[in-house]
């Protein structure tokens, strides 16, 4: 757990039984931004504007989609688990920035309220070896979040700056669908390594993904590649793979000049494990579905390694 505090009960006492909830959003202290580290220098060396890293995090990867419901959160959760599985020595975090429809609590089976450090930083909840933070940990599970944009931005600021990430190597950031304020705010404020776009191949989904991709390209966020989700169905008896929607994603990736990173079939085991709060990479680690997510993770890692600027070039 967090290196300042060795166990949760000790922390609970130290924080005078304070638990983070939505009411404390507006009266907490500012994050300590003094430890920006080498990363900023690396990004400046790449000619990127001066964004502020997240304390305790080395590399940040966005997972985004144009349309809702295409499997972005499922991909983000399984990508996080797969990064951990492929590189067990690395520390992986998962940040859910979908304030209106957070999925991480359900998909990671985490329903507690985060504890606070002495300086009012939220301690990520941990399951399956992944540090996790979500707006869903801070609001009632069943209540809708009825907030105006400014409140959402304020909540996002807290999620970005008031979480006590503990030496995270890879932070996977699940985003809301579309290309709204949250994306702009993430792009403006964070040194992002790149974005993984998730789409299904129907024309409607591909069209919105294209618009999202152009936004990322214009704002100089590297596109790591595209995950095509739920295009194929594999027959459990004869293992024949049937394509449901055709080649919309290939057309998109060749138009954008980016990689089609992985094809994830539509599979009931993925839905079931997701709904049970255990990503398929954890629930069925040797399955072909888990292997698909691990292949994706390996490609993301290869991309991240290429992004690194050698120390002697800074």
Ligand X SMILES: Nc1ncnc2c1ncn2[C@@H]1O[C@H](COP(=O)(O)OP(=O)(O)OP(=O)(O)O)[C@@H](O)[C@H]1O
Q: Give residues in contact with ligand X (CB under 6 A).
A: 65, 68-74, 98, 101, 103, 177, 229-230, 264, 266-267, 270-271, 274
Shortest gap between Cβ of 97 and ligand X (angstroms)?
Answer: 11
Q: How many residues does the chain have?
A: 314
- Sort strands 125-127 and 130-134 into parallel, antiparallel or unpaired: antiparallel
Shortest gap between Cβ of 307 and ligand X (angstroms)?
Answer: 25
The set of residues, in sequence order, having a beta carbon less than 8 Å from that of 294 and lying 6+ positions away, is 82, 85, 86, 281
Contact 217, 64 (CB under 8 A): no
Can you tell me the distance from the alpha carbon of 93 to that of 156, in angstroms, rounded to the nearest whole number? Answer: 16
The set of residues, in sequence order, having a beta carbon less than 8 Å from that of 211 and lying 6+ positions away, is 66, 179
Shortest gap between Cβ of 118 and ligand X (angstroms)?
Answer: 34
Question: Judged by CB, which is closer to ligand X: 69, or 246?
Answer: 69
Tally of helices (H runs) and strands (E runs) in the chain: 11, 10
Residue nearest to ligand X (CB): 68
Question: Judged by CB, which is closer to ligand X: 193, or 267?
Answer: 267
Contact 186, 62 (CB under 8 A): yes
Question: Judged by CB, which is closer to ligand X: 83, or 264?
Answer: 264
Question: Judged by CB, which is closer to ligand X: 70, or 108?
Answer: 70
> What is the CA angle 174-179-181, rounded to 5?
85
Shortest gap between Cβ of 48 and ligand X (angstroms)?
Answer: 27
Structure-derived torsion over alpha carbons of residues 215, 254, 67, 162, reported in degrees to the nearest 10? -50
Question: Judged by CB, which is closer to ligand X: 1, or 284?
Answer: 284
Shortest gap between Cβ of 150 and ligand X (angstroms)?
Answer: 22
Q: List the end-to-end C-alpha distance of the chain, in Å, as a whole number.
A: 32
Question: Judged by CB, which is closer to ligand X: 98, or 193?
Answer: 98
Nearest one of 51, 67, 300 to 186, comparing CA atoms: 51
Shortest gap between Cβ of 279 and ligand X (angstroms)?
Answer: 10
Question: Judged by CB, which is closer to ligand X: 67, or 158?
Answer: 67
Shortest gap between Cβ of 167 and ligand X (angstroms)?
Answer: 27
């Amino acid at each position: 757990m967090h290196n300042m505090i060795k166990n949760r009960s000790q922390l609970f006492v130290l924080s005078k039984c304070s638990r983070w909830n939505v009411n404390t959003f507006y009266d907490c202290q500012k994050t300590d931004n003094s430890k920006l580290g080498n990363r900023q220098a690396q990004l400046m060396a790449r000619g990127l504007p001066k964004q502020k890293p997240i304390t305790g995090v080395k590399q940040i990867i966005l997972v985004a989609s144009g349309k809702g419901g295409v499997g972005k959160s499922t991909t983000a959760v399984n990508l996080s688990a797969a990064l951990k599985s492929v590189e067990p020595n690395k520390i992986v975090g998962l940040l859910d920035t979908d304030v209106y429809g957070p999925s991480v609590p359900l998909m990671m089976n985490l329903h507690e309220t985060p504890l606070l450090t002495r300086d009012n930083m939220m301690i990520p909840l941990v399951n399956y070896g992944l540090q996790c933070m979500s707006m869903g940990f801070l609001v009632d599970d069943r209540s809708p979040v009825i907030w105006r944009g400014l409140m959402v931005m304020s909540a996002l600021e807290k999620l970005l700056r008031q979480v006590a990430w503990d030496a995270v190597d890879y932070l996977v950031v699940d985003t809301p669908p579309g290309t709204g304020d949250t994306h702009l705010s993430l792009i403006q404020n964070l040194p992002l390594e790149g974005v993984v776009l998730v789409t299904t191949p129907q024309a409607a989904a591909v069209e919105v993904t294209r618009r999202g991709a152009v936004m990322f390209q214009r704002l100089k966020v590297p596109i790591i590649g595209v995950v095509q989700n739920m295009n194929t169905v594999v027959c459990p008896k004869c293992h024949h793979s049937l394509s449901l929607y055709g080649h919309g994603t290939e057309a998109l990736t060749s138009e954008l000049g980016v990689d089609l990173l992985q094809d994830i079939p539509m599979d009931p085991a993925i839905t079931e494990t997701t709904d049970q709060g255990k990503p398929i990479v954890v629930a069925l680690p040797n399955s072909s579905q888990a292997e698909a997510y691990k292949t994706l993770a390996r490609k993301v890692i290869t991309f991240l390694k290429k992004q690194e600027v050698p120390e002697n070039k800074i």
